[in-house]
Chain A
Amino acid sequence: MSGSSPVIRLLGAGRRFGSHEALCDLDLTVHAGERVAVLGTSGAGKSTLLALLNGSLEPTTGSMEIFGENPARLPAPRRRLLQRRIGSVSQELALIEQVRVVHNVNAGRLGRWSTARALASLVWPRSLDVVRDALDRVDLGWALHERTERLSGGERQRVAIARLLVQEPELVVADEPVSSLDPVRAAGILGLLGTSPTVSTLVVSLHQPALAREHCTRVVGLRQGRIVLDRPAADVDDADLNDLYTLA
């Protein structure tokens, strides 16, 4: 991967909320094709880091480039084009509860649709083949026309993954995407994110170190807003993890 420009480059990036310093002085470079697991205790800054990476937060100090561009400095139309290349799944799944599943999956394609096409699809769902295919891949083929609010927590999480799949992003930023899934399904979803042909780069925060070692190529550990561990997944041993999760 040497030679290609990095997908993510953080230089001394920090983020504070009022007087609270959530992240400070992060240096992180992620190249295309890497699968990075972000580990750390609750409150270590994982969600803040991922919010920076998907462009919904700006760093308050330092610099950040994604695909070689700083999202905060782009004019709105170019920023939209950049955001289309980044897919994100958050802990709050951000699904629209009152519509059928097909619309929630199609919401992933709104970035490439004209407004007229988007509105027409709310009445008469478009690109059903793509949606059905994505739902099949997360084992939800049966739920195409189900009301989203009727699904269980785990099923909704998989709808959010299907929405991500139809967006066909080059970088996926996933904040605990498998937290409410059983172990078998969790492994399946991570495998899907890892092997999807369109997703080349993945940054995912996890609570289970075993999943990180199995599905990711690199592990980044956060503690009190700083990177304390950054190593290939194969080289991470139990002692590292013990250090990371020991309360300071």
Chain B
Amino acid sequence: MTLGLDAPPAPPTASAPGRKPVSGRRALLRKLVTLVAVAGLLAWSVHRALPSGSELVNHGGLALLDDLAATALHPSLEADFLGVVLDAMATTLALALLGTAGALVIGLIGGLILSDVAWAGALPWPVRVARLLLRGALVAVRSVHELVWALFFVSVLGLDPLVAVLALALPFGAQSAQVFGETFDAVPDAPLRSLRAAGAKRCSALAYALLPGTAPLLLSYSFYRFECALRSAVVLGVAGVGGLGFELTVSLQSRNWGEVWTLVAALLVLAAAVELWSNRVRSDVAVVTCADWSVGQERSGDEGRSPRGLSRSTRWSLALTVPAIAVAWWWAGLSPAGLTSARTQDLAGRLLGDLWPPALPEGGLRALTGAALDTVTMAVLAMVVAVVITLVAGPWASRPRADRRGPAAWGRWAVWWTARLLLLVLRSIPPTVWAVVALLGLFPGVLPGALALGLYTGGILGRLVAEAWETMNLKPRESLRNAGVPRVVSAVVSVGPPSANHLVTYTLYRFEICVRDTAVVGVVGAAGLGRLLSERLAAFDFPVVTSVLLASLLVSLVVEILGRRLRRALRA
């Protein structure tokens, strides 16, 4: 849970045995060094994104932006088109559901294999080597963006619903396997050992000892994943996967702004409905916020359990899961036959053969590092945009405390709704659409990509931080106020440090994801490794694709390792 973050920084405990007293001067110095480093990174990014001399704003596209804004109040409402929209909504929902189901199957199996608790005792070395390989493979699978997976699958399977399901299930499954493995390992192992000691088979013992304790957490995580899958299913539209994302891409390309607005409205309705429902189920089965899931806080089985039983709506949701998956399967027209057809095998064989050995793109290593640096720059600037959005909207998007009443409280609730809605709009519209819009007004480059990613990430970061702020412990503020400290001072002193702590933690975490997400805005032509990748994919230049993939794997690994170390250092 977030307890560790809620607590204001503990004063140095010099009296604790075996612990070195923290030097105040060194703490200050460390802070200064971090500040200078971050400022340097920002300055470098801005410098890279705004090369002097070249033009940034595309005056020719501004008229189109005007058109776009002008049609906001005149969405396309023709009956034919509305039918298409409803159809697309159902398809997106079905693909997200199937993708999540696939991811959970991979996650459960992978999580059991990765968890230590399932393998009691010493392991023979082949098993240990296989587990290590699997762990590495899962890291590689999840660091490739689902859109890139979709582009690969499209080139093998053609326009098949399998593309969307596989592209969602693989990276999400790899991520789930890691989370599930950690969840299983947090369960006390005494019951499992005792069942095994009484002669129970491995499968039955695992089911009895692990499932009851972890089921609420696994369910909560599954619903969180479903929300993510819905957003990603829309993004996949760029790769030709059917549904709202695809319709949006078509309407944007044909500059049919009325249709774009209708589709955006449909997207918002769908996203809001799924988030409300998922939030309700998650708060019912386990007390874990989205923020907890995304950062992967350590939690034990007991802590996360909801004190109340399941509500009726949750029970219905769970009971309808399997029928819903069957309906989605039928609606999407999913057929695993496409996987084994001769054409698929032929294409897959040729693709795999072409991918190796890797080759450098035109311009050599210099072009590749340039694209990698563009990617990092884009992610840094996107985070600046996202943090600004969070600082502006976040405080208002935290649920107001219930202790106030009267007209002032009503106003506060109205502001709360507005802020939540703004964040919902920002994160529900896929970054690809933001990027296409940004590319109308700006010339292709780092800046439109960063802007698009920043708007989208701001919607997510704002929600995470707002939710974390909601659960903050207010007792220190009360006690300061009771001690006669003025209101403002007590608020700043008690709430400031933990809020800043939340913001920094989630910003670092989102930065890692943002680096991975740059692939998305690259595909629609912004900049960075993603752009290089989609250009080379379109040209069937697979040896270069391999080296670009390896470069982006390297970048995201480096960022993830640095980010994790930094987060741990900040928490300590």
A-B contact count (CB 8 A): 82
Contacts of A192 in B (CB 8 A): none
Contacts of A87 in B (CB 8 A): 198
Contacts of A241 in B (CB 8 A): none
Is residue A96 contacting chain B, with contact meaning CB distance below 8 A?
yes
Is there an interface contact between B190 and A92, defined as CB atoms closer than 8 Å? yes
Is residue B212 contacting chain A, with contact meaning CB distance below 8 A?
yes
Contacts of B191 in A (CB 8 A): 94-96, 107
Is there an interface contact between B205 and A97, defined as CB atoms closer than 8 Å? no
Within 8 A of B (CB), among A15-34: none
Within 8 A of B (CB), among A48-82: 54-56, 80-82
Contacts of A118 in B (CB 8 A): 200-201, 203-204, 207-208
Contacts of B482 in A (CB 8 A): none
Chain A residue with Cβ nearest B215: A98
Is residue B301 contacting chain A, with contact meaning CB distance below 8 A?
yes
Contacts of B311 in A (CB 8 A): none
Given A98-B301, A119-B207, the answer on whether A54 and B197 have CB atoms closer than 8 Å is yes
Is there an interface contact between A111 and B200, defined as CB atoms closer than 8 Å? yes
Is there an interface contact between A110 and B193, defined as CB atoms closer than 8 Å? no
Report B's interface with A, CB cutoff 8 A: 190-191, 193-201, 203-205, 207-209, 211-213, 215, 301-302, 305
Contacts of B305 in A (CB 8 A): 98
Question: Which of A96, A108, A113, A122 has the most chain B CB atoms closer than 10 A to its own CB?
Answer: A96
Identify which of B190, B198, B203 contacts A84 (C-beta below 8 A): B198
> In the complex, A74→B327 CA distance in Å?
50
Is there an interface contact between B208 and A115, defined as CB atoms closer than 8 Å? no
> In the complex, A54→B195 CA distance in Å?
12
Given A88-B194, A110-B204, the answer on whether A97 and B199 have CB atoms closer than 8 Å is no
Contacts of A90 in B (CB 8 A): 190, 194
Is residue A41 contacting chain B, with contact meaning CB distance below 8 A?
no
Is residue A99 contacting chain B, with contact meaning CB distance below 8 A?
yes
> Separation in Å of the B350 CB from the closest CB of chain A?
42
Identify which of B203, B211, B302 contacts A115 (C-beta below 8 A): B203
Given A56-B193, A110-B204, A115-B204, the answer on whether A97 and B198 have CB atoms closer than 8 Å is no
Is residue A224 contacting chain B, with contact meaning CB distance below 8 A?
no
Is there an interface contact between A94 and B200, defined as CB atoms closer than 8 Å? no
> In the complex, A111→B195 CA distance in Å?
8
Identify which of B196, B215, B302 contacts A97 (C-beta below 8 A): B302
> In the complex, A87→B194 CA distance in Å?
10
Contacts of A82 in B (CB 8 A): 199
Identify which of A96, A103, A110, A119 contacts B200 (C-beta below 8 A): A110
Is residue A179 contacting chain B, with contact meaning CB distance below 8 A?
no
Is residue A83 contacting chain B, with contact meaning CB distance below 8 A?
yes
Identify which of A80, A94, A119, A167 contacts B190 (C-beta below 8 A): A94
Chain B residue with Cβ nearest A89: B194
Given A83-B197, A83-B199, A96-B213, the answer on whether A110 and B208 have CB atoms closer than 8 Å is yes
Contacts of A108 in B (CB 8 A): 198
User: 13 more A-B contacts (CB under 8 A) besides A54-B197, A98-B213, A99-B208?
Assistant: A56-B193, A83-B197, A86-B198, A88-B194, A96-B209, A97-B213, A98-B301, A107-B191, A110-B198, A111-B198, A111-B199, A115-B201, A115-B204
Contacts of A98 in B (CB 8 A): 212-213, 215, 301, 305
Contacts of A107 in B (CB 8 A): 191, 195, 198, 200, 208
Interface pairs (18), CB distance under 8 Å: A56-B193, A80-B199, A84-B198, A88-B194, A88-B198, A90-B190, A94-B191, A94-B195, A95-B191, A103-B208, A107-B191, A107-B198, A111-B199, A111-B201, A113-B204, A118-B203, A118-B207, A118-B208
> In the complex, A56→B199 CA distance in Å?
11
Contacts of B203 in A (CB 8 A): 115, 118-119
Contacts of A86 in B (CB 8 A): 197-198
Contacts of B213 in A (CB 8 A): 96-98
Chain B residue with Cβ nearest A54: B197
Chain A residue with Cβ nearest B194: A94
Contacts of B301 in A (CB 8 A): 98
Chain A residue with Cβ nearest B203: A115
Chain B residue with Cβ nearest A117: B204
Within 8 A of B (CB), among A177-212: none
10 tightest Cβ-Cβ pairs between the two chains A and B:
A111-B199, A84-B199, A118-B204, A110-B200, A94-B194, A83-B199, A94-B190, A98-B212, A99-B212, A115-B203
> In the complex, A179→B198 CA distance in Å?
22
Contact with B along A101-132 (1 / 0, CB 8 A): 00100011011010100110010000000000
> In the complex, A99→B200 CA distance in Å?
18
> In the complex, A95→B195 CA distance in Å?
10
> In the complex, A54→B193 CA distance in Å?
12
Is there an interface contact between A110 and B205, defined as CB atoms closer than 8 Å? yes
> Separation in Å of the A73 CB from the closest CB of chain B?
15
> In the complex, A90→B197 CA distance in Å?
11
Contacts of B194 in A (CB 8 A): 88, 90, 94
> In the complex, A58→B340 CA distance in Å?
50
Is there an interface contact between B195 and A110, defined as CB atoms closer than 8 Å? yes
> Separation in Å of the B203 CB from the closest CB of chain A?
4
Contacts of B205 in A (CB 8 A): 110
> In the complex, A115→B203 CA distance in Å?
6
